[in-house]
Structure 1
Amino acid sequence: PKSLTVAGSKFVDALFRQWNMASPVEAEAIEMAEHFWYLNAGKARDELGFAPRDPAETLNETVVYVRENFLRNDAFKQAVSSR
């Protein structure tokens, strides 16, 4: 039951804080996990013509972009060192 899991996670969190240790359980995460999350892109598809891409294609293009814009010719090192 939700009340037991949330209360238990808060207890574990308080116990670990007492020992000055990071808790392996976050009460907020447990509470959010109790909810059913459902997303539907149907409205975006119908009204805006949205068409989701293959995640592998998106990831590949992201890696290429990062390599070209941040890792090429030490661009990343220059950007970080200028901070």
Structure 2
Amino acid sequence: MSNTQQFIGALKQINKGVMDNSQNVAFYYGKVIAITPLEIQVDQRFVLDQDFLVVTSTVAGDTALAVGDKVILLREQGGQRYIVLDKVVTI
């Protein structure tokens, strides 16, 4: 096998590893379990604290979150941060 073919093979392996380990954007439901500091339990599997959360203006200020509120979250690609999009309400 030539050096070029070995190099191309190595690049393919690296690319496959990167693609297998990447986490795509996804939506999750969560429940606010604490306000100060903000903590949200996601699908009864894990708890996110304020270091992993980005809050939008729709859930801040006059419409601030309260303990017990259900929210919809958007996980950024890579899974390092979650954006709190809005409260989930029942009609």
The normalised TM-score by structure 2 is 0.24
The normalised TM-score by structure 1 is 0.26
Determine which structure has greater relative contact order: mean sequence separation of CA pairs < 8 Å that are 6+ residues apart, divided by chain length: 2
Which structure's residues are more often helix, by fraction? 1
